[in-house]
Amino acid sequence: MSESWTGPLEKVNDFCYEIPRTYKSGMRVPGRIYANQKMLEDIRRDRAPEQVANTAFLPGIVKYSLAMPDIHWGYGFCIGGVVATDPDKEGVIAPGGVGYDINCGVRLLRTRISYEEIKNRIEALINLLFQEIPAGLGSKGGIRLAGKEKERVLIEGAGWAVRQGYGVERDLQFTEEKGALKGADPGKVSSRAYERGKAQVGTLGSGNHFCEIQVIEEIYEPEISKVFGLFKGQITVMIHSGSRGFGYQICDDYLKKMLVHFDKSKLPDRQLVCAPLNSKEGRDYFSAMSCAANYAWANRQVLMHLVRKGFAKFFGQKWEDLGMELVYDVAHNIAKIEEHKVDGKRKRLCVHRKGATRAFPPFHPDIPHEYKQVGQPVIIPGDMGRHSFLLVGTEKAMEEAFGSTCHGAGRLMSRTAAIKSVNKSVLARELKSKGIVIRTAGKETLAEEAPQAYKDVEDVVDVVQGAGISKKVCRMKPLGVIKG
């Protein structure tokens, strides 16, 4: 991938570019990339537009193969990719369109604590949370799943965690899908996946997963912020994790099963291997993927419990008295059956979001009643040295992008390249000078996750706002970060 991509990108508007169907024989729809002129050079250098064109070959694909401004190279599908297929027209489901970390996602907690109350105590609080939260590659938590419990967590998701005492029922109302996808079938999960997942509920993991203490630095939409219980100078907490080794194994298992039937005459890349959603193979993968999605929601629910527990211990108060309520939880890597309008008609589609966030508009039936007037919260983490954002979904996202938007900053360089180019000592001093406390479990995590390894999230968010597919509500600044 050393040479830049030189294919056609035709300007649709200042925030969207199109790869025409004529670029490659076999494309069923055009490809569309949300970006501005400033970002195109990096996008071309990464060559991910070729993956946008390749996914346009998928059977049953509807309207466009889409990519968000945090686009970068991935397995089969680009990261930032959104594809919807029609099950009634031989539409497929593709493991590469979900990714290995099934339901990697993020949740945002608010507190009643102001920055002034805590500004001189961030390091002590982060140190305590670092002890409370298992983090790092292969990390294990205090929960051991066995017998019927290992199946219940896969069916009930975050609800299982709440009923075990790791939260309250209200948490489920503010979790996408109420924390559990229907259709999960534990019988479609391999023994190897069970083995990998039995001790990882309530663990952060490694790589770009994190727990971050933040302060709200800027409010763009005061009325919407009030609905979410947010104010300037408020302390918030963001948790980013997924289905850990359990989801990875499910993806790996089903890729191998589907590759047996791969037809290279119909698809340009083996990594796009897929199955019709209405086939046994497709239904089995969807059922297993749903198990992994539910596992991830249970994982984030337990992680939130550990954060609440840590704050309660630190402040000597109950978490309820600290106002530690869940604002929302969104999935980034998932395929879901949703209703969307195509050519003026309502259709049930299989929407793949890989490194993309659901962004439903006001009055959509799938968002909490409390948020009906303003739309679904969209949580966009940046890197550990710059900002994160909260946005809301819009009607235009439904019209153009199957109710989807970006999911984060998006990488500019690989982890290997970051390790080679980043001086960890210099970076640590830079972050400290900005008042950001970092704790990492992995030896190379600091370099891998350096801010310069990522696009500037402000540029990414400005594109989706400019395109009208989501709207900025507030901006958060990192104060303390735990990384695996």
Question: In Å, how far are 32, 133, 142, 151, 306 from 145, measured between CA atoms?
Answer: 43, 18, 10, 9, 18
User: Residue 484: its pLDDT value, please?
Assistant: 81
Nearest to 31 by CA among 8, 6, 47: 8
d(CA 259, CA 257): 6
Specify the pLDDT at position 443. Answer: 80
Helices (H), 7-101: 37-46, 49-55
Q: Pick from 380, 126, 411: which is nearest to 240 by CA?
A: 380
Sequential pLDDT tens for the chain (484 residues): 458 999 999 999 999 999 999 999 999 999 999 999 999 999 999 999 999 999 999 999 999 999 999 999 999 999 999 999 999 999 999 999 999 999 999 999 999 999 999 999 999 999 999 999 988 777 888 888 877 888 999 999 999 999 999 999 999 999 999 999 999 999 999 999 999 999 999 999 988 899 999 999 999 999 999 999 999 999 999 999 999 999 999 999 999 999 998 888 899 999 999 999 999 999 999 999 999 999 999 999 999 999 999 999 999 999 999 999 999 999 999 999 999 999 999 999 999 999 999 999 999 999 999 999 999 999 999 999 999 999 999 999 999 999 999 999 999 988 999 999 999 999 989 999 999 999 998 888 999 999 999 999 999 999 999 999 999 999 999 999 999 8
Query: What is the Cβ-side half-sphere exposure of residue 91, based on CA atoms within 13 angstroms?
Result: 20
Q: Of 240, 352, 387, 407, which residue is the catalytic one?
A: 407
Cβ partners under 8 Å of residue 178, min gap 6: 158, 159, 172
Distance CA 299, CA 202 (A): 5
Q: In degrees rounded to 5, what are phi and psi of residue 143? A: -100, 130
Q: How much is the pLDDT for 138?
A: 76
Contact 5, 49 (CB under 8 A): yes
**Inter-residue long-range contacts of 227-231, CB under 8 Å, 24+ positions, other chains counted:** 227/370, 227/371, 227/373, 227/374, 228/110, 228/327, 228/371, 228/374, 228/377, 228/390, 228/473, 229/110, 229/323, 229/325, 229/327, 230/110, 230/327, 230/390, 230/473, 230/474
Task: Note the pTM of the prediction, 2 decimals.
Answer: 0.96
- Separation CA 354–CA 176 (nearest Å): 16
User: 10-483 in CATH: which number?
Assistant: 3.90.1860.10
> β-strand 470-483 against 437-440: which pairing, if any?
parallel
Which 8-state DSSP code applies to residue 97?
A: G
Q: Per-domain residue ranges for the chain?
A: 10-483
- Please give the distance of CA 347 from its chain centroid, rounded to a whole number: 25
Longest CA–CA separation in the chain, Å = 65
Q: Pick the closest to residue 150 from 99, 194, 196 (CA basis).
A: 194
Q: How far is CA 472 from CA 6, 111, 218, 467, 476, in A?
A: 33, 20, 10, 12, 11
Residues whose CB is less than 8 angstroms from the CB of residue 176 and which lie 6 or more positions away in sequence, other chains included: 105, 328, 329, 330, 331, 358
Length of the chain, please? Answer: 484
Residue 407 designated active-site? yes
Strands 404-405 and 388-393: unpaired
Q: How many CB atoms lie within 10 A of CB 6?
A: 9
